[in-house]
Chains A and B, each alone.
Chain A
Amino acid sequence: MAEKGSFEIKVGLAEMLKGGVIMDVMNADQAKIAEDAGAVAVMALERIPALIREEGGIARASNPEMIRAIQSVVSLPVMAKVRIGHFAEAQILEAMEVDFVDESEVLTPADEHNHIWKHDYKVPFVCGCRNLGEALRRIGEGAALIRTKGEAGSGNIVEAVRHMRQVQSDMKKLTVMGQDELMAAAKEMGAPFALVQQVAKLGKLPVPNFAAGGIATPADASLMMQLGAETVFVGSGIFMSDDPAPRAKAIVDAVTYYKDSAKLVEISSGLQSAMKGLDMSEIPEGERLQERGW
């Protein structure tokens, strides 16, 4: 008897996305550009984070017709975002057979207390984190893929680096702890004990760990891969730049050849201006997307 929607099958798709680039797209034309550049998946959303930041207002899950249009032009997995805690938006995306749901801090949260109980769905979920405790809480709720949050729409890699280093360092600490120290560690980071034990043993997350939030250049992609990301999400970095198609292609190549600096010179040459980006001091504390969710 065939089994569908198990946790292993969900993580299985995340495994297939490794070593690739997942690109934010706002319409079918952009989705096509992403596919032609070699993206492993596209994230369908009505406004990329940089525009949400610029225009303000409530950011919600995308219109089903826009997602359908993208599903019809690309053969890649299509992902889409829902507001944190908005399980009805997730049910709608599942009914549309979206391949991955991103319960995302980029959209305006619907529930300030509870995230979605993701085990109830056949569709896999990806969630953001800033540290190991947050990652393990989301995995405990059923996330099949974790991405470090970074600061979406900033074009600034500093937060992505901070979060990836934090997760890696939190994991390293667990691996050198004795059994008798793990319960206190679980309490301190507010993470499910069984998952803390698992990370202490494996030295890595039980699901793939990707990077997001601020990647704008091939060098940014290489940096995140060298810091331990297994794939990168590029949001505003491609379609807010002056040269989306060649930049998208260059970032795809940079993820495969992230350790080869000679090749990275070649890959990075000939690109026009990257997105302008924001210094963190230009984003007031209350407007930082990474602080949404817990």
Chain B
Amino acid sequence: MIGVLALQGDYEKHIHILDLLKIQNMEIRYSRELDMIQGLVIPGGESTTMTDLMGRNGFYEPIRNFAKNYPILGTCAGLIMMASSVPGSRVKPLGILDIEVDRNAYGRQVHSFTDQLPVQLNGRATQIPSTFIRAPKITRIAAGVEVISKYQGNPVAVKQDHHLGLSFHPELDNVTLFHEFIFKKQLMDKSTPQHHAA
């Protein structure tokens, strides 16, 4: 079972992608529900809103603990939440990816764009459509963080351990590649679901 954090944002679009892949999924609104899943998506949305809702509802430590054992995929605001540092902003990131992020660095909505993006995944090169909405820029990456896609010289998709962070929204273009990559593997490795006390 894969969870999609459903506090705010385009979580239904991610559920649609998981449905397309026939991956069982559920919406996550309470930290106790993390015990029922083996992977988590943090969707696009507003990272300041997510900061407040995650803080007020006790998500920070439970997600950090969850991240030690299970993969997390973050898109746009999700990537911001997974970062280690977001300078000059009231966002409080989780520190799951050892990267620094500049929010809305691509500009306001009139600068949002779509383009073809080259991706290097599993030793295979491919091209996908990508949508950047008031997107964040990854401004620093630590050793151990693998860049799997760059746009105009800037990293826009990064992988560290079993986690994946994207500046753009594959869920808006029906791109299933990333969800499949990080969760199918997990589901196969751990075919017996791990049960924790509820």
A18 touches B10 (CB 8 A): yes
A19 touches B9 (CB 8 A): yes
B180 contacts partner chain A, Cβ-Cβ < 8 Å: no
A39 touches B113 (CB 8 A): no
Given A15-B172, A40-B46, A99-B108, residue A4 in contact with residue B89 (CB < 8 A): no
> Within the assembled complex, what's the spacing in Å between the Cα atoms of A39 and B90?
13
B6 touches A19 (CB 8 A): yes
B52 touches A38 (CB 8 A): yes
A60 contacts partner chain B, Cβ-Cβ < 8 Å: no
B53 touches A13 (CB 8 A): no
A29 contacts partner chain B, Cβ-Cβ < 8 Å: no
A242 contacts partner chain B, Cβ-Cβ < 8 Å: no
Given A16-B10, A40-B49, A99-B134, residue A75 in contact with residue B108 (CB < 8 A): no
Contacts of B108 in A (CB 8 A): 77, 97-99
A18 touches B12 (CB 8 A): yes
A120 contacts partner chain B, Cβ-Cβ < 8 Å: no
Contacts of A9 in B (CB 8 A): 112-114, 131, 133
> Within the assembled complex, what's the spacing in Å between the Cα atoms of A8 and B171?
12
B115 contacts partner chain A, Cβ-Cβ < 8 Å: yes
A20 touches B112 (CB 8 A): no
List CB contacts (< 8 Å) of B72-87 with chain A.
Answer: 76-77
A3 touches B114 (CB 8 A): yes
Contacts of A170 in B (CB 8 A): none
B92 contacts partner chain A, Cβ-Cβ < 8 Å: no
Complex: chain B residue closest to A122, CB-CB:
B110
> Within the assembled complex, what's the spacing in Å between the Cα atoms of A3 and B111?
9
List CB contacts (< 8 Å) of A89-145 with chain B.
Answer: 94, 97-100, 122-124
Given A8-B172, A75-B89, A76-B46, residue A253 in contact with residue B113 (CB < 8 A): no
Contacts of A2 in B (CB 8 A): 113-115
**Cβ-Cβ contact count across A and B, 8 Å cutoff:** 118
A246 contacts partner chain B, Cβ-Cβ < 8 Å: no
> Within the assembled complex, what's the spacing in Å between the Cα atoms of A212 and B89?
29
Given A20-B8, A77-B134, A256-B8, residue A15 in contact with residue B53 (CB < 8 A): no
B196 contacts partner chain A, Cβ-Cβ < 8 Å: no
Contacts of B169 in A (CB 8 A): 12
Interface size on B, residues (CB 8 A): 37
List CB contacts (< 8 Å) of B138-167 with chain A.
Answer: none
B52 touches A12 (CB 8 A): no
A16 touches B9 (CB 8 A): yes
B44 contacts partner chain A, Cβ-Cβ < 8 Å: yes
Contacts of B133 in A (CB 8 A): 9, 12-13, 16
Contacts of A99 in B (CB 8 A): 108-110, 134
A75 touches B48 (CB 8 A): yes
> Within the assembled complex, what's the spacing in Å between the Cα atoms of A99 and B109?
5
B112 touches A4 (CB 8 A): yes
Contacts of B77 in A (CB 8 A): 16
Query: Beta-carbon contacts of B95-114 to A below 8 Å, as 1s and 0s?
Result: 00000000110011111111
List CB contacts (< 8 Å) of B19-59 with chain A.
Answer: 29, 44-46, 48-49, 52-53, 56
> Within the assembled complex, what's the spacing in Å between the Cα atoms of A128 and B102?
34
Complex: chain A residue closest to B46, CB-CB:
A40
Given A3-B114, A257-B29, residue A20 in contact with residue B45 (CB < 8 A): yes
> Within the assembled complex, what's the spacing in Å between the Cα atoms of A152 and B11?
29
The 9 sampled A-B contact pairs (Cβ below 8 Å) are: A2-B115, A5-B110, A12-B112, A12-B169, A35-B48, A38-B53, A97-B110, A122-B110, A252-B53
Other contacts beyond A6-B114, A97-B107: 4, CB < 8 A: A12-B112, A37-B52, A38-B49, A99-B134
- By Cβ-Cβ distance, the 4 closest A-B pairs, closest first, are A38-B52, A99-B109, A2-B113, A19-B8
Chain A positions near chain B (C-beta within 8 angstroms): 1-6, 8-10, 12-13, 15-20, 35-41, 75-77, 94, 97-100, 122-124, 249, 252-253, 255-257, 260
